[in-house]
Structure 1
Amino acid sequence: MQQIIKTTLGVCFAAGLAFSAHAGEAPMEISGATTVDAEGVITLIESTPDLVILDNRSVADYDAGHIEGAIRLIDTDITGAADLAAHVPAMDSPVLFYCNGLSCGRAANAAEMAVDYGYTNVSYYALGMTEWRDLGLPLVTN
């Protein structure tokens, strides 16, 4: 029994260290945006019919699996407000940004840009595909 507890604690400790290492790479919160977890994403999708979901990952990552209804727009392709306006019709339109999680940072960059451009209904899925996949939630592939 003690061995099981030690092993479990070791795994939790290692997971905590891994999370801490990633936590410094991208912020958990973006000023002016609402941070959501997987449950929050699902709630947004179910309750917000006009939600724009922007996947801020590479083509390969997007093709390998993305949240249903997501539009791929990598952060480096957002060079001005017009790039977001092409997908998000109004400054108060609900928009969700996600990427591969805290180790990625692309969604954080994109959400910060949206807020800076004046978007007021911005959601940021900080844990992104890392959490989504860990929870076994559905993905659409190309």
Structure 2
Amino acid sequence: MKLRNLVFVVMLLCCFAGSALAAQPQAQEYSVITTEELKNMLDAGKINPLIFDARTPEEYEEVHIKGAISLPISKLERDPALLQGDLARPLVFYCNGVKCGKSKKAAKLAAGLGYQHVLVYSEGMPVWEEKGLPIYAGPNYEAKIETKRLDPATLKTLLESGAGTFQLVDVRDKNEYDEGHIPGAINIPAAAFAAGSKVLDKEKKIIVYCNSGGRSYNAYRKLMKLGYGDINQALLADWKAAGFPASKL
């Protein structure tokens, strides 16, 4: 066992033991864990949590953390008895990232039922998948989607309007972004897009672009899974072909 995994397990067990022994009438309902902490917990094998996917059955069937159990929050709210079991066994809930509230609702419900060690994996399915960790992929996992494309002239008009109703995101690597990007764009590289998406506002139009479409297509898919509504795609190659300027750092 790697030393860091052993240290993490010991710390987590101590935390569990402490929370069980301490008399705290205002005790926290649940604890939030990171991707690395959940991975270490599973790798070490000393703690055997139940992992619950609080998303819809359709999302679960498309892709889920390997070994997770489907328990949609809507179903759990109707029938809390579905969680009957060992109150001392750790429970981990997850959904579609830090802006998804389903896992937190499920965790609060579990804590209210008397479960002693309730954890929320807040980074959720998009980040777990993005980091290449073990997943179950269903038959529709690679299904092609149609993106909503913005042509260069429409994008330029939107940028010149000065409206605060959208966010433009360059999903290329930072060195590419620094060499030249569409004015006003922020940079969230595609390789860590789900993890970096917390800065994006779900109430705004999100426009993702790369040079030729591959990476922005993947970012578009991740935004769909993260629950963003108004998603758009553009191409830097088209922007340049139209003769529009690029900003450099």
**What TM-score does the superposition give when structure 2 sets the normalisation length?**
0.41
1:34–1:122 contact (8 Å) kept in structure 2: yes
CA drift of 1:129 comes to 1.3
Please say which structure displays the higher CA radius of gyration: 2
Give the C-alpha shift of residue 48 in structure 1. Answer: 4.0
| 2:38 is equivalent to residue 41 of structure 1 | yes
Root-mean-square deviation (CA), in Å? Answer: 1.6
What is the one-letter code of the residue matched to 2:73?
A: D
Q: Partners in 2 of 1:44 and 1:122 — Cα distance? A: 14
Greater RCO (Cα-Cα under 8 Å, separation 6 or more)? 1
Letter in 2 for 1:42: K
What residue number does 1:136 align with? 132
Supply the distance in 1 between the matched residues of 2:29 and 2:70 (Cα, whole angstroms). Answer: 22
Greater shift in the superposed pair: 116-125 or 40-49: 40-49
Paired residue for 1:84? 83
Which deviations, in whole Å up to 9, do the C-alpha atoms of 1:95-140 show, x marking residues without a partner? 1100011222110110010111111011110111132123232311
In the comparison of the two structures, how many residue pairs are matched?
A: 109
| Paired position in structure 2 for 1:71 | 69
Change (3 A) 1:80 1:63: closer
Task: Please give the alpha-carbon distance, in whole angstroms, between the structure 2 residues aligned to 1:37 and 1:134.
Answer: 14
Q: The residue matched to 1:66 in structure 2 has which SS?
A: strand
Task: Give the distance between the partners of 1:125 and 1:53, measured in 2 at CA.
Answer: 9
- 1:84 is aligned with what amino acid? L
Matched with 1:6 is: none
The 2-side partners of 1:139 and 1:51 are apart by 17
Between Structure 1 and Structure 2, which shows a larger proportion of strand residues? 2
Other-structure match for 1:59: 57
Q: Structure 2: how far apart are the matches of 1:37 and 1:132?
A: 10
The residue aligned with 2:117 is 121
4+ residue runs of structure 1 moved beyond 6 angstroms? none
**1:137–1:50 CA distance, 2 compared to 1 (3 A):** closer
Letter in 1 for 2:65: I
Query: How many Å separate the matches in 2 of 1:121 and 1:68?
Result: 21
Aligned-pair distance for 1:80? 4.4
Residue 35 of structure 1 deviates from its aligned partner by 0.9
Alignment-derived partner of residue 25 in structure 1: none
> Does structure 1 residue 102 correspond to structure 2 residue 104?
no
Once residues 86 and 113 of structure 2 are traced to their aligned partners in structure 1, the CA distance between those partners, rounded to angstroms, is 11
Alignment-mate amino acid for residue 58 of structure 2: A
Are 1:62 and 1:141, in contact at CA under 8 Å, matched by a contact in 2?
Answer: no
Who is 2:223 aligned against?
A: none
TM (normalized to structure 1)? 0.70
